[in-house]
Amino acid sequence: MSEVPVRGTSAPPGAAGGSAGRYAVAAELMALFDKDPSWIPGEAAAMTEAIHGELTALSDEADIRDLTYRSSEAVLRMAAQLLPTSIDVRDAEPPPAAVEYARALVRRGVAVETLLRAYQVGSAAWFERWAARVRVSERDADRLSAALEQGASWSHAYVTALSGGLVERYSEERERWMRSAEALRAGTVKSLLIEDAIDPVTAEARLGYALAGQHIGFVVWARDHDDADITRLDRAALELAGSFASARPLLHPLDSHSLAGWVNVTDGHRPDVAACGRTRSVMAAVGNAHEGIGGFALTHREAMHAKRVAELSPVAPPSVTSYRTVALVSLASMDIDQARTFVQAELGPLGSDDEAWSRLANTLEVYLRNNSRVRPTAQQLSVHENTVKNRIKAVTDALGEPVEPRAASLLVALELAPLIRTAGGRAPSQS
């Protein structure tokens, strides 16, 4: 006979919870029934059928049914050992097969409520059969009543004790399993991002995300790190991904205040940033759509570049930045010190935040974007054409040469100027 696992020590005969005296009739019948070698296997089979017949959340695959049976059989054999003893039933610990059953359900994503319900269903099925067998075995009315009452009382206390231990084991396994699964997922994402050789089928199985087709990568983060909340970031990420596609996104924590994500989209899809501004009070950056495993890494890099530009920009959350709209600025601002030198050399005083110079810089940008045409510039700024001419002359005087031959470099410098002022010598975070 194997040792019965218990939490505490044996109680003296007659102690609360012990079997001596209090459960004497049930213990006697348990010993009698246990002489039949087919009894416990038959009871375990009946419990298994009842459990799988009622709980659709349990897989009906052969390996899970086998684990259900092994757990039921182990619980019954321990009951047969424990009931005749003076051990307090409240100290009973789950047998190894029951612990393995709980761990297996964790790995299959079955909720702890389903595990506990399985024990309730199994216990009910066992007691029904126990009562039927007792009625056949006992002719004495007093003993029959005692056997039924004692069996019900003891089995309830027994299942309650086992349930507490199983919840504890389930929680430990779930925490371990989640850490292991998250570590595996994180490692897989890292391999994809640095474009290590990795089997796509294996990667997809680990991530629960299809790597074929086109991906849009995005990042959400809290600009104020003290205000970061993972639930809020998750919610914002799901909202953002939902504006691109109906497919469920893959989310990957970068740190305590930022979250990366990917979503599969249809061919030729372009992120509609105007339609995805619902990011609550967080910031977001979005890459372009790219194909396959290589595209998975590329769109993430673009999203991170857009994030860097957004962190340098004087914008307040909520805000969504698309790499498509800031690609040139992203490239030009990779070295922030060099970018500052470039802006100062190109714009001179127009790069300052002085109101008068800022008005001239704004006029210059609109003028150059309108291909140096005065009339559309005036219309866009809602000023007289002569005002535009005077402002452009003031710009030319400040720069010491005509602006038209330098249009490309001036436009880049004008886009960089707000970032340079916001940066103030600091570098953006690199999550």
The tens digit of pLDDT for each residue in 165-214 reads 999 999 998 888 878 878 888 889 999 998 777 888 999 988 999 998 89
Lowest mean pLDDT among 83-87, 228-232, 345-349, 374-378: 228-232
**pLDDT confidence of residue 285:** 93
Q: Above 90 in pLDDT, residue 286?
A: yes
DSSP strand pairing (319-322 vs 258-265): unpaired
**pLDDT confidence of residue 108:** 80
Sheet holding 319-322, edge to edge: 250-255, 258-265, 214-221, 283-291, 319-322
**pLDDT confidence of residue 12:** 40
**Positive/negative CA dihedral, 186, 191, 193, 194:** positive
**pLDDT confidence of residue 426:** 41
Q: Above 70 in pLDDT, residue 317?
A: no
Instruction: Give me the domains of the chain, ranges plus CATH numbers.
Output: 24-179 (1.10.490), 211-331 (3.30.70.270), 334-423 (1.10.10.2840)
Plot region of 144 (φ>0 → left; ψ -120 to 50 → alpha; else → beta): alpha
For 59, the token pair is: 């897989």
Residues 6+ apart with CB under 8 A from 375: 385
Reduce the DSSP state of residue 284 to 3 states and report it: strand
Of these ranges, 191-200, 292-301, 332-341, 342-351, the one predicted with the greatest mean pLDDT is 292-301
Residue 277 confidence class, pLDDT cut points 50, 70, 90 = very low
**pLDDT confidence of residue 419:** 84
The answer to whether the pTM exceeds 0.85 is no
Cis before 318 (ω within 30): yes
Q: What is the mean pLDDT of residues 276-303?
A: 84
Q: Above 90 in pLDDT, residue 125?
A: yes
